[in-house]
């Protein structure tokens, strides 16, 4: 029951019609990276074949065309997350680089020994390790908000962990392991009541739900192109202008300067201050195309359909003997992590692969979360809006077949 024409959507993704081991590919590793529609790949081709030139500095025609396309892509991103200004959109290599940028530029400016950064117990390593690096440099303290047995953040603990020493809260919008949709608007409102800014890791959110950074009042919001039908190697840091203006550059080089002498360098305006070196003007254009592709259907319709897949998959998987699903939050999106009895996740994943089903196994770059759950890893099936109920039936039949082998 969806208004989306899933067959037509699937036809936009050539890879979905290939086989693996002579079986139709069932791709359920979308949380790791999504597949790409033809229009995104064609956008890359078009830049290289028709308008390739280094941007921002050229007087010549091609450079101007390439510059316009890159800056137009920035505006597409701005509109996509409803940022107030396009200069609040910084292109990065991905979520990881965006968080490292903030941990470095914000951390060096605003954090001193004993200050606290508050994260949660369900963060990806990308939202843990940069803060540990800052801890090693600055002697800050990393505090962690726990979650309950359903995989929902303990909001009372969150309130108690906010302290006069808290300099920043950094939280995943959606957990890449449990699928929990965290109450980020509430978290931001409460942090702001204490004048504490909030970074939201939206890597798993932007392709599954409409995101409005102004409605959320997020100070920083970060995501990766490759998880939202766009190309790999480009991502976005959104930051409120009032913060970005106060932060020093992260990388130095060309593009990010106003004037350079051996004695003193002055920096370019936003967003260029944070974009040292030749930007990925191919990736940006392709990312803009990916956004337009999603917007053709609407993030609400995409999210609603994926929710049907999630519910159906949950119901069907739960019929399997010994099934354990990790993460049963009331607000959940697109990800199911599971184990069957004591069957090792790697064995299950390998056998599913032989049946043509691509899932992720292991710790999903969230080892501390696995530690809290008391397990080493899970099997993770994650959905995109090109997936179907029939594919879920194939997954469930395959999991059942594999578990009977043990």
**Interface ranges with ligand PMP (CB under 6 A):** 94-96, 124, 126-127, 172, 176, 201, 203-204, 224, 365
Place of tokens 């002055």: 266
Q: Which is nearer to ligand PMP, 56 or 124 (CB)?
A: 124
CB of residue 95 to ligand PMP, shortest distance in Å: 4
Q: Which is nearer to ligand PMP, 172 or 340 (CB)?
A: 172
Q: Which is nearer to ligand PMP, 81 or 398 (CB)?
A: 81
**Residues 241/85, Cβ–Cβ less than 8 Å:** yes
CB of residue 61 to ligand PMP, shortest distance in Å: 34
CB of residue 214 to ligand PMP, shortest distance in Å: 22
Q: Choosing from 365, 381, 392, 399, which is the catalytic residue?
A: 365
Q: Examine the residue annotation and report whether 111 is marked as an active-site residue of this protein.
A: no
Q: Which is nearer to ligand PMP, 206 or 270 (CB)?
A: 206
CB of residue 314 to ligand PMP, shortest distance in Å: 20
Name residues whose C-beta falls within 8 Å of residue 222's C-beta, 6 or more positions apart in sequence. 92, 95, 98, 99, 102, 199, 200, 201, 202, 203, 235, 236, 237, 238
**124 phi/psi in degrees, rounded to 5:** -70, 155
Q: Which is nearer to ligand PMP, 105 or 176 (CB)?
A: 176
CB of residue 158 to ligand PMP, shortest distance in Å: 18
Which amino acids are annotated catalytic? 365
């Amino acid at each position: 029951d969806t208004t989306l024409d899933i067959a037509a959507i699937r036809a936009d993704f050539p890879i979905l019609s290939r086989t693996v081991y002579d079986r139709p590919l069932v791709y359920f590793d979308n949380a790791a990276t999504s597949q790409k529609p033809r229009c995104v790949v064609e956008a890359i081709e078009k830049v290289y074949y028709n308008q390739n030139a280094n941007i921002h500095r050229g007087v010549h025609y091609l450079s101007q065309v390439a510059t316009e396309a890159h800056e137009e892509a920035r505006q597409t991103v701005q509109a996509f997350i409803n940022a107030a200004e396009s200069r609040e959109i910084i292109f990065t290599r991905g979520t990881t680089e965006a968080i490292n940028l903030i941990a470095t530029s914000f951390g060096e400016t605003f954090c001193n020994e004993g200050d606290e950064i508050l994260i949660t117990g369900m963060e990806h390593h990308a939202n843990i390790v940069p803060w540990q690096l800052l801890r090693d440099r600055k002697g800050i303290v990393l505090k962690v908000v726990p979650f309950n047995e359903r995989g929902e953040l303990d909001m009372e603990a969150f309130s108690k962990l906010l302290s006069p020493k808290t300099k920043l809260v950094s939280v995943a919008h959606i957990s890449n392991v449990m699928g929990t949709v965290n109450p980020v608007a509430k978290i931001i409102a409460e942090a702001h009541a204490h004048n504490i800014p909030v970074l939201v890791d939206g890597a798993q959110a932007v392709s599954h739900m409409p995101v409005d950074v102004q409605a959320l009042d997020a100070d920083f919001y970060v995501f990766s192109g490759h998880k939202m039908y766009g190309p790999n190697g480009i991502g976005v840091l959104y930051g409120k202008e009032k913060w970005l203006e106060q932060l020093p550059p992260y990388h130095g080089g060309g593009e990010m300067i106003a004037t350079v002498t051996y004695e003193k360098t002055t920096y370019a305006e936003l967003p260029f201050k944070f974009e040292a070196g030749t930007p990925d003007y191919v990736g940006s254009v392709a990312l803009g195309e990916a956004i337009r592709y999603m917007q053709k259907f609407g993030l609400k319709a995409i999210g609603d359909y994926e929710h049907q897949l999630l519910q159906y998959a949950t119901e069907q998987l739960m019929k399997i003997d010994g099934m354990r699903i990790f993460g049963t939050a009331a607000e959940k999106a697109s990800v199911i992590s599971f184990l069957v009895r004591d069957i090792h996740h790697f064995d299950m994943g390998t056998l599913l692969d032989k049946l043509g089903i691509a899932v992720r196994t292991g710790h999903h770059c969230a080892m501390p979360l696995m530690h809290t759950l008391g397990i080493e890893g899970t099997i993770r099936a994650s959905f995109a809006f090109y997936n179907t109920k029939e594919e879920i039936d194939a997954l469930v039949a395959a999991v059942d077949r594999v578990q009977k082998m043990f």
